[in-house]
Structure 1
Amino acid sequence: MACYGFSPFCRQCFVVIGVSINLSQYGMVFGFTGLLLPQLQDPASSVTIDQDGESWIAALPSLGLLVGNMIIPTIMGNLGRKRANIISITIMTVCWSCIIIANNLTTILIVRFFQGVSLGMVNSLSPIVIGECTSPKNRGAFLTTLSLVLSIGTLLVHTAASFLSWRETATICTAITAFDLVLILFAPESPSWLAVKGRYNEARNVFRWLRGNDEDEEIERIIEASVVTLRETNAKSNSFVLNIKRTIIDFHRTMKEESFYKPILIAVHVYTLGTFSGVNILTSYVILITKEIAGSEINMPIAVITLAVQRLITNAVAVVLMKKVKRRTTLILTTIMNIASLFAVAGYDLAKTCNLFENSLLGFLLLHILMFSISLGALPLTFIIIGELFSLKYRSISAGLSSTSLSVLFFVTLKTFPCLFDNIGLYGTFFLYGCVLVYCLIVLWAFLPETKDKTLQEIEEGFKSKSQNVELKVLRPLMDSK
């Protein structure tokens, strides 16, 4: 661990910076797509692609995301959050280095896949690390920084690639990931993971190093929950056959536990909302969409950079707001704005396509309004809510399962967008996205709880049945006596 002599808040910042820079690769990888494709389309490019190759370059990281989401629960659960973070950023550093020297489409596609693997790992990992290592009063703002660094990553590659070649841009990204690897090496392990592994004294020490001495009640409640889990694990027989039977019974019982399936169902709908908000295609197909709405006469580098800057500024505003406003209320209001913006852009594009009305400035303004609604709501709140939902007992597997849905959604939106654009136009695509958001809004309105200023243990107990909470209350005096 590092940062001795600093306040608990500064130490939490140190942990957040390490995992946030790793997650900023999301913005870099998918933002890189939007500027890589036009450069590869240049006849003078050393690497040639066709339309099918373009869609695979954009969508292939999403398949890697699926693999990353599948392996990260095991890595997080067995090796710990810190080692999982190190593995993820190491893969990304190697991938950016390979892009620098890539001289054919096959190499680029392979690298893009493994970039997705790294992103799939950090996608599940980052909100969990921040949720477990930061104080409830700061957790919302810290989780919002995840969307902020996403925007910073997007702005960085959009700006760099507007003036530099894709190889030079990849060089900059390599340097950033290498720096982050050094930071992560000095970060502490998650106290929650240490508690799950039965390393209670170490968990208390790390928790107090991160939080100070004013929040001891939370670590004691985490340890209580871990004791229950370890007691159940140690009670199992060593017989292979009996363990198989017990595994099947435990799986069936787990699937019926409200603290397991409810957060996952909510997380899937939150991810669906975030994916169909339009942020992915506005990042990966920014030039195509901007040309469609504002016309080819617009100064494209300036247009792309201004959208990225606006996204960054709005995310920064969201960081401040998340410390003051309720999560659930903000998500509902910004989603309504998001839906209205999608329908507005769709309506304008339809009028433009039918030669009824056209105003480049108005079209570009509508894109900015859409980006504003996304950056203020769906983008930051996805990370905040996901980081707060899952119970300690099932945190690794829950994050992996829910993030798998994100991978599928990413692939579907990025791979199908060119086809949808060609067949039903941008207006039809955005209208479809808006309808999906309406469905997600209804579900989340009904089932999403308020999580602001609650500890992770309080949120978990809110999902549990009464019998599970009674068990913890009975155990608590026994732990206090020890």
Structure 2
Amino acid sequence: MVFSPFVKQMFVATTTQLVAVSMGASLGYPVVLIQQFQSYETNIKTDLDTITWIASMHGVAGIGATLMPTLMQWKGRKYTFIGSTLLLLLGWLLAFVAQDTLTVLLSAIFHGLSSNCITIVNLVTVSEMLAPRYRSASMVLLNINQTIGQVIVAALGSIFNWQIVALIMCGPAVVALLMSFLWPESPSWLAFKGRFEESEKAFVWLRGSNDDANKELKAMLAAQKESRVKVSKKTKLQEAWTAMKRRDFYIPSLYMFLILLNFYISGALPLFIYSKDILEMATGASEIAVFGYLVMVSTLFIGSLISLILIRYFKTKTVLSCCVGCILSLFSCSLVSYLQSNGIVRRDSYLFLYPYLGYMVFNNSGFNPITFALPIDLMPVKHRGMGGALFNVLTCLLYVVTVKPFLYIVASFSLSGTLFFFATSCLLCTVLIWIYVPETKGRTLQEIEDYYNYGSFDRFRFTDDVEVKMPIVKGDVVE
């Protein structure tokens, strides 16, 4: 049976989306662990320090994933995807058999390592293997499916023991692992490695051979052949230093830092992971805190559906502007908390709950999905080794810095002061992003690279320069 290029691209995309569900569940899993451990429903005893380590271990362990971009540049996207999925499965299996805090922390280490690996591999795979008109929506859908994974694990955690939840969440990862053996390697990576004939076959298998596809294929091959004309005699360290001084590396790297900082400094992760504790502080009732957490998880799904609509009809930076809603919600939460601490609003008032839920909706209505899709989209293919490593280091450090000390900071500076700091910092970053970061929706990877080097998305290429005149390979099977 012969399948259309669209079906083949969606097959690859579905594989990444399935593992994103399981990986997203691993991000929300610490919330289930914390709630069940604090309720004394298990034999595992924990204190505040252990709880904060469980919550922040994703960021600590994720530092190991810094090597993943180098492995991706060396072994390709397909096999690193398979390896990352196996690590995720190992994390779930360790959680299933855990009988003490050490095994729980070891499971969290594998979850942290694999989730950071999968985040990079998924985004790069979708970015390189799907047509531009599908790329943005599919990259946003990765984050939406991560959110769906968080919703599923929260729902399961309210019904089942945390070990049963771990076993159930192995399912999507197992299916994704089996599917990944059937799709080809990334055409962009094959061209980067100088394997041009294989690149053409993989590209045609994925994208077909219509005029638009042929034009993009020739531009990609031409650019990679240009970069291989001069054989470098520099050492790896010298090559890395030279690459870091190039405009098409350091400019997107600065954009990457700004975009990620904007998300983490808004308090997105601690406000989710410690949501039960925060709501209990704000309402004074543990019962409403549990109810508020379940409602909050539901709002994540609502926000995800909204983001699908937004990314379909609006530009990337416009969708990212949903963080303005997060900023207003944070200021409102801070104000309510301040009024409660001064006795103007009752301590047991539920008023805090409304802007808090609004924050969660806005966070997932474009802000969260675009934050992790846009930095990878901005980084040229040839720099995705170092660029991916930088992405991982930044996400891990920012994760730990915002999650691990959060409860201690709230105890020292109050909840209202912490939320006010989050809102102010996010506002400043948002203004800078809107002014400086370019729009990438609908742009090919080569056009984005040309923007950094030539100041324009549309660089005219002469067909008699380095442009390949080889016929486009026909066929439906990648050899």
Assess same fold via TM > 0.5: yes
* Cross-structure match for 1:188: 184
Distance 2:143 2:282 in 1: 26
Please give the per-residue CA displacement for 1:218-237, whole angstroms capped at 9, x wherever unaligned. 122111222123333xx234
Q: Are 2:218 and 1:220 equivalent residues in the alignment?
A: yes
Tell me if structure 2 keeps the 8 A contact 1:130–1:387.
no
Please give the residue correspondences for 1:303-322 in structure 2 after superposition, counting only pairs within 5 Å.
Answer: 303-322=292-311
Consecutive unaligned residues of structure 2, counting only runs of 5 or more, are 471-479
Secondary structure of the residue aligned to 2:322 is helix
Where 2:414 maps in the other structure, the secondary structure is: helix
Note the C-alpha offset of 1:373: 1.4
8 Å contact 1:30–1:58 — kept in the other structure?
Answer: no
| C-alpha contact (below 8 Å) 1:161/1:169 kept by paired residues | yes
Whole-angstrom distance in 2 between the partners of 1:421 and 1:41: 19
State TM-score, norm by structure 2: 0.92
AA aligned opposite 2:222? E
- The match for 2:317 is 328
Mean Cα deviation higher: 96-105 or 317-326? 317-326
What is aligned with 1:67? 64
1:162/1:155 CA distance change after superposition, 3 Å? same
Measure the CA separation in 2 of the matches of 1:122 and 1:199.
Answer: 25
Residue 262 in 1 paired to residue 258 in 2? no
1:5 to 2, 5, 10: 2
Partner of 2:24: 27
Matched, 1:51 2:48: yes
> Once the 2 structures are TM-superposed, how far is the Cα of residue 107 of structure 1 from its aligned partner?
1.4
For residues 350-393 of structure 1, what are the alpha-carbon distances to aligned partners after superposition, in whole Å with 9 as ceiling and x for unaligned? 11222211474432211121012111132011133123111121
Task: Give the match's secondary structure for 1:46.
Answer: coil
Greater share of helix residues, 1 or 2? 1
SS at match of 1:450: coil
Counterpart CA distance in 2 for 1:108 and 1:476 is 61
Is 1:439 aligned to residue 437 of structure 2? no
Could you tell me which runs of 5 or more consecutive residues in structure 1 were left unpaired when the two chains were aligned. Answer: 238-242
CA distance in 2, matches of 1:478, 1:441: 41
Please point out which of 253, 268, 271 is paired with 1:282: 271
User: Which residue of structure 1 lines up, in the alignment, with residue 227 of structure 2?
Assistant: 229
Among candidates 108, 114, 125, match of residue 110 of structure 2: 114
Tell me how far apart the structure 2 counterparts of residues 468 and 67 of structure 1 sit (CA, whole Å). Answer: 35
Say how many residue pairs are matched.
467
Alpha-carbon distance change, 76 to 446 in structure 1, aligned in 2, over 3 angstroms: same
SS at structure 2 position matched to 1:464: helix
Aligned match of 2:473: none
Question: Per-residue deviation at 1:297?
Answer: 5.4
Cα distance change of structure 1 residues 476 and 64 upon mapping to structure 2, 3 Å threshold = farther
Task: Find the residue that maps to 2:91 and give its secondary structure.
Answer: helix
* Greater mean alpha carbon deviation, residues 405-414 or residues 134-143: 134-143
Of residues 189-198 and 81-90 in structure 1, the stretch that sits farther from structure 2 once superposed is 189-198
Instruction: Output one character per residue of 1:46-75: Cα deviation in whole Å (capped at 9) or x when no partner.
Output: 21111110000111121111111x111121
Contact preservation (8 Å) 1:25, 1:119 = no
- In 2 relative to 1, CA 26–288 (structure 1 residues): closer, same or farther, beyond 3 Å? farther
1:151 pairs with 2:123? no
- Work out whether residues 87 and 114 of structure 2, in 8 Å CA contact, stay in contact via their aligned partners in 1: yes
Match of 1:362 in 2: 351
Secondary structure in structure 2 of the residue aligned to 1:454: coil
Aligned to 1:100: 96
Of all paired residues, the percent bearing the same amino acid is: 25
Q: Does 1:39 align with 2:36?
A: yes
Q: Distance in 2 between matches of 1:211 and 1:30?
A: 33
2:207 pairs, out of 185, 205, 211, with 211
Report the aligned-residue RMSD: 2.2
